[in-house]
Amino acid sequence: MEWEPHNNVSEVRSFLGLVGYYRRFVKDFSVVAKPLTNLLKRNAPFNWNDKCTQSFEELKKRLTSTPILALPSGDGGYVVYTDDSRQGLECVLMQHGKVIAYASRQLRPHEMNDPTHDLELAAIVHALKIWRHYLYGETFQIFTNHKILKYIPTQKELNLRQRRWIELLKDYDCSIDYHPGKANIMADALSRKIVDQLANELRMEIMHEAHYASYAMHPGSTKMYQDLRPYYWWPTMKKKVAEFVARCLTCQQVKAERQASADKLHPLSIPEWKWENIIMDFVVGLPRTFRKHDAIWVVVDRLTKSAHFLTICQNDSLDKLVELYVS
């Protein structure tokens, strides 16, 4: 990825906006991006240091070498892995040994001094909230590397925040289990594959399948692009999809024209005084006269319809035209 280091806050914000769109594909996104997000804080001096460069290069690397995510199936078997550090919360959603999505966020200022078990519980709550549409109503496991969380639902001495989180846990059919350290199953399940650019033949095959398959029903360029975007990318993809759809003879023959019709014409108001409102045009490309005039300036009064035809040079300046009009 050819992207040079940034010189100001606006460029950093633009870069983070782009890579943040793909954060669910990047493990530990918030932790890796923290040196860059620190530059966006209010009243923070813009100091691009080695940590920023390392974060910048690591994000580019992970965007171009990200693990392939699987699509969730409707037969359960979800497993959530959570972890915390003093920089952020990290979560991984898996199903049948395949990674479905990543999630992460940085610690808020008031969480910096929280005990480890509170941060681990916060990571679980973050995962349940962000993946509620996957996990609600399903039976699943949560693995954490803090053993005390396995027994926290049965504890009696809990603070108000912990009690609120436990109430949220009761909405889900889940069990919390202890797994020491990083879950090795995660590393085994990741199938890493670096793809610089899809070959033209493969791109055409993908677009052909997305447009002509029996389940596709000849989608338009916008719909087809939105369907492909979560799973594929190549340079000028949106333009290529539009060109592909434009070449479909069936679409051109069958689909109705959806371009919005122009609004109705509205008449101009009638001027109250002559030469109060004028219209003008230029006739150019005429043979040059002995005075070197090669154009005609036509000025018409909208009220009386009287017209003046002024001979001018095609390259006359605006000041000269104003002087000629006033005279």
Q: What are phi and psi of 65, to 5 degrees?
A: -140, 40
* pLDDT in the model for residue 64: 64
Check pLDDT > 80 for residue 203. yes
Neighbours of 182 (CB within 10 A): 12
Q: What is the DSSP letter of 105?
A: E
Half-sphere exposure of 62 toward its Cβ, with a 13 Å CA cutoff? 21
Cα gap 303→313, rounded to integer Å:
28
Q: What pLDDT, in 10s, does the model give residues 211-254?
A: 988 878 889 889 999 988 888 888 788 999 999 998 888 888 78
CB of 149 closer than 8 Å to CB of 162: no
Which residue has 């090669």 as its token pair?
294
Neighbours of 207 (CB within 10 A): 20
CB of 123 closer than 8 Å to CB of 91: yes
Element spanning 100, H or E? strand 98-106
Q: What are phi and psi of 216, to 5 degrees?
A: -85, -40
Give the mean pLDDT of the chain.
80
Lowest mean pLDDT among 68-77, 120-129, 160-169: 68-77
Cα gap 227→223, rounded to integer Å:
6
* pLDDT in the model for residue 98: 80
Lowest mean pLDDT among 82-96, 138-152, 156-170, 255-269: 255-269
Cα gap 15→57, rounded to integer Å:
12
Which residue has 């769109």 as its token pair?
21
Q: How confident is the model at residue 298 (pLDDT cuts 50, 70, 90)?
A: very high
What is the mean predicted confidence (pLDDT) over 264-268?
Answer: 80
Q: How confident is the model at residue 59 (pLDDT cuts 50, 70, 90)?
A: confident
